[in-house]
Structure 1
Amino acid sequence: MSSAVDTTQPARRSGQALLVWGLLVVAANLRPSLTGVGPLLDRVQAGLGLSPAVAGLLNTVPLLAFAVVSPMVPRLAARRGPERVLAGGLVVLTLGIAIRWIPATGSVFAGTVLVGAGIAVGNVLLPSLIKRDFPTKVGLLTSAYATVMGGVAAVASGIAVPVSEVVPGGWYAALGCWIVLALVAIVLWLPQLRTPPPVPATVRGGHRLPWGSGLAWAVTAFMGLQSLGFYVIVTWLPGVVQDTGLSPAEAGWLLFLFQVVAVLTSLVAPAMLRWARDQRAVAAVNSLIMLVGYVGLLTAPEWALVWTIVLGLGGGACLVLALAFLGLRARDAAGAGALSAMAQSIGYLLAAVGPVLFGLLHSVGSGWRAPLILMCAAAVGQATVAMVAGGGTVPAADDHRTPDHTPSPAR
């Protein structure tokens, strides 16, 4: 008996380590194909002869793809198995990057749609897989993959222009270079395809989304509002601070600083999750930190460096919390997948509207006051829903009992 244990335990640990590496490399692919577009947008616009409005759609289309594709993922995972569906998402992402490498308007937009669809699959399934395979380490592994995701995203935005200036092909080669990382993810994920497909009786009803749960809607609102804040910042922070006298290059470095601070903050998030009995206070406090950053930009924009750091501190923590809620608020892996699909579908739809509305308010009001007041209101709303989203358990979609709001322990 002991020899059997001795031989299976190392194999099990090796399999778990390979799974963790696979999840982290998948996470590394969930943002660089998006954050690498913004710095190159003027070059893409000039190269394809696009109007500013049409070029701006390259940042909006992936978020709309998230909203459309996310609700479909739990049903596919229930039928085919999450490992196979995630592998399919990686293939779609790789194909999208390859198509976007072709310097033609139709190819760039078609590839962007596929990139968004492939990333949406990973967005939904990573919380579900972590909940299923590492139920006692949800907070730790969520922080790890959020850190990897944010770190690679920051690098992508920082190297996009330099790469476009040194590689043959310019901007479209800079967009296409991320195919290498996507291919690495596919190779590392192949061992997971040995997992048997799900038995129908064990997954029946697991794909239904919890539309009737107030707690699920609170988690969705928190996810949407923090996503709205992130995409408004990465889209408009350079414009806001340039009006204080900073050069475009200095504004770009501030945006990079925001992302770096957010990544560093995400490293501290597991300690916050372990310290808190539930996550209500932690989520509300970090949402209010975001409010301080917006109020600072509104009232003392000349201190933009300070407010950028403040926004990074709050934003990095809120991202990890939003992702952790998808596992911590769910009863099981199927519930985490369903909650993830709902929260990310509605959440990214809200995020897609945010930068457009922010820019519209700026155009109508000829200043940043009205847009920044909007973000202050969004931060207040985020802090409010945090007091619900930070505790309790979302009931199964086919469970008509009153939702359980008993605080669940941080993992």
Structure 2
Amino acid sequence: MNLTQENPGIAANDGRITPPAPGLRRAALLLLGLSVMLIAFNLRPIFSSLSVLLPEIIRQTGLSSASAGYLTTLPVLCLGLFAPLAPRLAQRYGVERTLLGVVIILGLGTALRGYGGIGALFAGSALAGAAIAVGNVLLPSLVKRDFANHAATMTGLYTMALCGGAAAAAAFTLPITHALGNSWAIGLGVWVIPVVIVALVWAPQSLRQNSRARHATYTVSGLWRDRLAWQVTFFMGLQSALAYCVMGWLAPILRERGLDGVTAGLVVSVSIMVQVFTSVLVPPLAVRCKDQRFFNAALAAIAGVALLGLLFAPLSTVWVWGILQGVGQGGLFAIALTVIVLRSPDSHVAAHLSSMAQCVGYILAATGPLFVGLLHSWTGGYSATAWLFIVLSAGAAISGWGAGRTTYVKVKSTPRKSP
């Protein structure tokens, strides 16, 4: 289903966004919105499911802490490396069909992780990360195109779905693994089931896409020279580095501090579930303000301080710090996606800014979980990661202050016809 083709007014030839025509059925938009949320739900379980099983994988396979750091970093690195492909794929095949490919490849990667063996685990993680990279870029563009009048609300909803998928994997992966013979491979592979479900829901909509959409391309120039675009990019990258430190290493950190595996997974799950609520609340509140500078900086500070509490505060307070970290991290992620939309004058610029922010941003974010693993390998503990968390949260606050200014990136978006 290509709503832009049903109603060309959504994305006019000059790149301006206009409200949907009255004849556009509400049911079509509701189905599209639900489908976007279902896709988003499946874009994070590969990270949090690995986190809660990491001690078992290390113990059963003999991985070192440094190698585990590479494993947690690999899919995040793929998020950055493959993000630039998204606009080109969408222009050639259409957003809907490209997202169908994303779901299929994500399913293959998730299933491969469940095959067993270190080689399959690394290969499946890379394949899934590549698919998620394209999905990450296209979802903000889809929101800008088809939900232009409700961009903040829809961003909050699909961010809620992202957090929900991560929380579900953090909470249920270890119990499922215990119930199915303590096989870490099965515990990882079981998350292919919701991917198959969303593929069945999305396929009929994507295959009805009008093929003419594939020939409408836009040239966006000047983005990589724009200061605001770089501030948005660094904000996305640094807050993502914090997020993947949490998803990749918080459970092992808490287990080393003395919590059992199931409880550690529940703390991570509750923290991520709190992100669900803040991700829904923050974007509508932020867009009502004159700018988003204060929101960005304050949320970065909250997320960073809470991580320090999880590292050093008494275990009796771990739930408080976990909830506080969820407030900060969920708000950070939602507002980082929101500023991509708010700083873009049209959906085509949004796709390219999203690609830039996630290409450079996720390559930067990959250093977060990598350094956690390396620091643990070098020092034998997690205390040294406190300095890493301080640097990342301070950087997110500074870049977020710049990204929160009420203005557009200064670029040119011009239509051209494919040969």
TM-score by length of 2: 0.84
User: Cα deviations across residues 75-128 of structure 1 (Å, max 9, x unaligned)?
Assistant: 121222111111111111112223333223333322222111111111110000
Q: 1:157–1:295: structure 2 CA closer, same or farther, 3 Å change rule?
A: closer
Tell me whether 1:95 sits opposite 2:108 in the alignment.
Answer: yes
The Cα of 1:360 is off from its aligned counterpart by 3.4
Whichever residue aligns with residue 193 of structure 1, its letter is L
Contact 1:71-1:345 at 8 Å conserved across structures: yes
Matched residues in 2 for 1:227 and 1:92: separation?
23
Tell me whether 1:19 sits opposite 2:32 in the alignment.
Answer: yes
Contact 1:94-1:182 at 8 Å conserved across structures: yes
Match of 1:307 among 321, 339, 347: 321
Alignment of structure 1 residues 101-120 onto 2, 5 Å:
101-120=114-133
Larger relative contact order, structure 1 or 2 (CA cutoff 8 Å, min sep 6): 2
The Cα of 1:151 is off from its aligned counterpart by 1.1
Q: 1:378–1:168: structure 2 CA closer, same or farther, 3 Å change rule?
A: closer
Match of 1:396 among 388, 407, 411: 411
Percent of matched pairs sharing the same residue? 37
TM-score by length of 1: 0.86
Q: 1:60–1:171: structure 2 CA closer, same or farther, 3 Å change rule?
A: same
Matched residues in 1 for 2:36 and 2:313: separation?
42
Q: Give the corresponding residue for 1:316.
A: 330
Match of 2:67 among 54, 70, 80: 54
Q: Give the corresponding residue for 2:389.
A: 375
Contact 2:279-2:330 at 8 Å conserved across structures: yes
The Cα of 1:59 is off from its aligned counterpart by 1.8
Q: Give the corresponding residue for 1:121.
A: 134
Q: Give the corresponding residue for 1:203.
A: 217
Matched residues in 2 for 1:365 and 1:98: separation?
35
Matched residues in 2 for 1:176 and 1:382: separation?
34
Matched residues in 1 for 2:197 and 2:312: separation?
46
User: Cα deviations across residues 223-278 of structure 1 (Å, max 9, x unaligned)?
Assistant: 11111111222334345555665455544333223212222222322442343122
Match of 1:354 among 368, 385, 393: 368
Match of 1:81 among 94, 98, 118: 94
| Higher alpha-carbon deviation: 100-109 or 341-350 | 100-109
Q: Alignment length, in residue pairs?
A: 391
Match of 1:44 among 57, 69, 73: 57
Match of 2:289 among 266, 276, 280: 276
Whichever residue aligns with residue 57 of structure 1, its letter is Y
Q: 1:25–1:252: structure 2 CA closer, same or farther, 3 Å change rule?
A: closer
Matched residues in 2 for 1:250 and 1:282: separation?
31
Unaligned runs of 5+ in 1: 1-7, 400-411
User: Cα deviations across residues 323-377 of structure 1 (Å, max 9, x unaligned)?
Assistant: 1122111111111111111111111112211122234345555665542133223
Matched residues in 1 for 2:258 and 2:189: separation?
34
Question: RMSD across aligned C-alpha pairs, in angstroms?
Answer: 2.7
Match of 2:155 among 142, 148, 153: 142
